[in-house]
Structure 1
């Protein structure tokens, strides 16, 4: 089967490697934001498609039989575009959505819908570990009455103000290292997207143990698709 995977996640890479090994014609599309990404087997396409028309045209021109959206749960517009483009071209769409995190026993989260709401939820004088990525970073940094430790994989494209520090690192992160990080910086609040998965879940356990307040940004809604939670489930959904 000829399949296009919208990638950038561990699940996308594992799926591509598995399907290539099984003899399928696989192309993985990457946005190109991360330098030196871990590339899967099979074909690679870098960069944007040009909205819904561009993605629909690509699906048609490449003879794609199935589209797998295995992007990050907060990938944004590409997941919206995938629904429309697959529908327009009559291409089967499967979305990989890892299970969301849930509060640990006895833990209370402040759950919000947007970046702006998360920024407003931070009290004055807070020391914040910000783990929401590049998108919307400026919204938080407008809060000059707080101090931010901003954890990113790649450096931002602008100079951050004096009340913020950039911490460049890549997951996975274990609980012990997360506890040490929070203690070292006197973190009082953790702001996170509900990405799910094991690689970055250690921060939630660390926050629980240290009594750090968690501000969790809820997941967006991307429209109807056959949604599954694992690589095995994708393979089953595609009938492979």
Structure 2
């Protein structure tokens, strides 16, 4: 049987991994995308778009397509997908690994306020500033919708889903971003507090440097916990090593 790796994608690391796997002779790779982004980047190998119908549906797909390994390379905040992937792999008796880029870490000069959820960020915001750059993605803005005082600049790749705060300005942009560009954005919109998820990686880290240089507070939404017993690697070489392909 030809080895078949399912990559749960949507990240730069997932695309990199698919590219590494697609050129291996005698190996089949399928990348699954949720379909939430209208113009996803090019992915090597086979591509599947859409959900599976929960953990049981994914387990059945793994069996039907003779998948021999699962790599969860989704966004660090794709908590439901990650939980379903872990359960599905267990149900189908297929080995699984979670590929997660390391989270950000504060350095001297940072004023970070870690919170456990978007709701926690919304509760803290009024005490920190009145002009907010919100970079938590297009989903979840409902957590801030009740805040009528602050002015929000919401940046996302796709138009955000309502409800959202009444005083909201939307910027559509895709990283990577530069420190100079982020500093100019913060100054232009007179931002006095930044809200972001701990996504990790270099593509969107420039805003943290810009906030530090401008002495702005940053509300950091911490990552959700991974499933118990998950095998976690920080990069593509680590995933290849676990797959026995390093």
Q: Same fold (TM over 0.5)?
A: yes
Shift of 1:161: 5.2
Shift of 1:22: 1.4
Look up the match of 1:92: 95
Mapped pair 1:235 → 2:240: yes
Shift of 1:211: 1.0
What TM-score, normalized by structure 1, do the two folds share?
0.97
From 107, 111, 116, the equivalent of 1:108 is 111
Shift of 1:138: 1.4
What TM-score, normalized by structure 2, do the two folds share?
0.94
Look up the match of 2:202: 198
In structure 1, runs of 5+ residues without a counterpart are: none
1:159–1:81 Cα change, 3 Å: closer
Aligned residues between the structures? 240
d(CA) in 2 for partners of 1:176, 1:21: 38
d(CA) in 1 for partners of 2:170, 2:9: 26
From 18, 35, 45, the equivalent of 1:42 is 45
Look up the match of 1:12: 14
d(CA) in 1 for partners of 2:188, 2:92: 53
In structure 2, runs of 5+ residues without a counterpart are: none
Contact persistence 2:137–2:160 (CA under 8 A):
no
1:1-240 alignment, distance < 5 Å: 1-23=3-25, 24-123=27-126, 126-158=130-162, 160=164, 162-223=166-227, 224-240=229-245
Shift of 1:162: 4.3
Contact persistence 1:16–1:26 (CA under 8 A):
yes
Cα deviations by residue, 1:149-184 (Å, 9 ceiling, x for unpaired): 000101124475541000000000010000000000
d(CA) in 1 for partners of 2:194, 2:163: 22
d(CA) in 2 for partners of 1:120, 1:97: 28
Cα deviations by residue, 1:121-167 (Å, 9 ceiling, x for unpaired): 00266100000012211111321111100001011244755410000
d(CA) in 1 for partners of 2:145, 2:161: 14
Shift of 1:116: 0.4
Shift of 1:25: 0.1
d(CA) in 2 for partners of 1:157, 1:193: 17
Which of structure 1's runs of 4+ aligned residues deviate more than 6 A?
none
Contact persistence 1:104–1:208 (CA under 8 A):
no
d(CA) in 2 for partners of 1:184, 1:57: 51
Once the two structures are overlaid, the 10-residue window that deviates more, 99-108 or 69-78, is: 99-108
